[in-house]
Amino acid sequence: MNNKKGKEVEVKTYNVKVGRSPRIERIDAYLSARFPEYSRTFVKKLIRNDHIKVDGKPVKPSYTPAGGDQILIEVPVIKTETIPPEKIDLEIIYEDEWILVINKPPNMVVHPSRGHQSGTLVNAAAYHCKELSSFGGDLRPGIVHRLDKDTTGVIIMVKDDTVHEEIAKQFEKRTVEKEYFALCKGRVELDADMINAPIGKHNRADEKMAVRHDCGKPATTVYKVAERIGDVSFVRCFPHSGRTHQIRVHMHYIGHPILCDANYGHEKALFPSDITGGEHYPLEKPLINRQALHAARITIFHPGLGRKKTFEAPMPADMRALLDAFKGAAAKKSE
């Protein structure tokens, strides 16, 4: 059997006879109770795709099962590419039987995509964990949220499908608390503010996003200025939504792009001589050559533990070196 995309599909078949009129009124709730390995949301999807029939006929999720009903359930299992595990060192912040929390380094793509078939965080996690949740699909096992390639910091990988679904709902409902550190160009005037500006695809550059009042999706970022050093601001950002490149786009939108974010209005790299005012020498190494953005903290309700958990990652060495260099230059200037 093949699906619409031409991928080979296996089908798990279940035949259920309702012995007597159940107390549960809806068939989606009834079947998710009978088969706890399948969520109610997943059962609804099966029903809407005609993979569940009662007495040979399609039904709606609201159908009330009755005694004597013969229910046929077909669960498609798509065979696709698998992620090859790769032995890549990971900085593990936390791990238990349900989740793996990693401090992602710069220059690492989260999951395989066109142009990045190996060396990704998923390849590394697949080697470390042996098993990741399948809720996100074959090419994104364990992925419940993402970070840009050159953004560092806390990222959660999930091992268990049920836990994955519960955490995914938290991201969808925006109950996950996230904090990022950003080093931004210029002295941000307000000590704190909320940026409420919709984000959509850039109208000219495919790889970029932009504030789009015509077609963008709602996006909100709260920021607080932690410190102003010369012509640079150290800003703590709290995104209340999860749009692609959200913090990068929003800080650029208010005129304070993140340092070394070449896509959104700043130089590609910063050298010590850029800060001290001298000239580059031939072997000078950049302090940083990626956007100065770091996912510092995330808080979720951990479904496996039944309580909130907060995970933190310290500011990475390149951002710390950049911050110290600006502080040193500012101190020298004030002497």
- pLDDT single digits (tens) 176-210: 999 999 999 999 999 999 999 999 989 888 789 99
DSSP codes of every residue in 180-231 = EEEEEES--SSSEEEEE--EEE-SS-TT-EEE-TTTPBP-EEEEEEEEEETT
Angstrom CA distances, 149 to 38, 58, 295, stand at: 33, 44, 12
In this prediction, residues 303-319 reach a mean pLDDT of 97
CB distance 108 to 148 below 8 Å: no
pLDDT band at residue 1 under the 50/70/90 scheme: very low
pLDDT band at residue 324 under the 50/70/90 scheme: very high
Token output for 234:
């150290």
pTM confidence score: 0.76
End-to-end Cα distance, the chain = 76
Q: pLDDT exceeding 70 applies to what percent of the chain?
A: 91
Residues 103-161 pLDDT 10s: 999 999 998 776 667 899 999 998 998 788 887 676 678 999 999 999 999 999 999 98
CATH code: domain 176-335 is: 3.30.2350.10
Distance, in Å, from the CA atom of 46 to the CA atom of 41, rounded to the nearest integer, reads 9
> Can you give the pLDDT at residue 115?
61
Answer yes or no: is pLDDT of 173 > 70.
yes
Q: Which CATH architecture has domain 9-78?
A: Roll (3.10)
Please provide residue 171's backbone torsions phi and psi, each rounded to the nearest 5 degrees: -65, -40
Give CATH 3.10.290.10 domain extents, the chain.
9-78
Amino acid at 12: K
Based on the residue annotation, tell me whether 148 is a catalytic residue of this protein.
yes
CATH code: domain 81-173 is: 3.30.2350.10
In this prediction, residues 309-325 reach a mean pLDDT of 97
Which of 28, 69, 89, 148 is an active site residue? Answer: 148
Angstrom CA distances, 118 to 110, 134, 148, 155, 233, stand at: 10, 19, 16, 18, 36
In this prediction, residues 238-257 reach a mean pLDDT of 96
> Can you give the pLDDT at residue 312?
98
Answer yes or no: is pLDDT of 23 > 70.
no
Give CATH 3.30.2350.10 domain extents, the chain.
81-173, 176-335
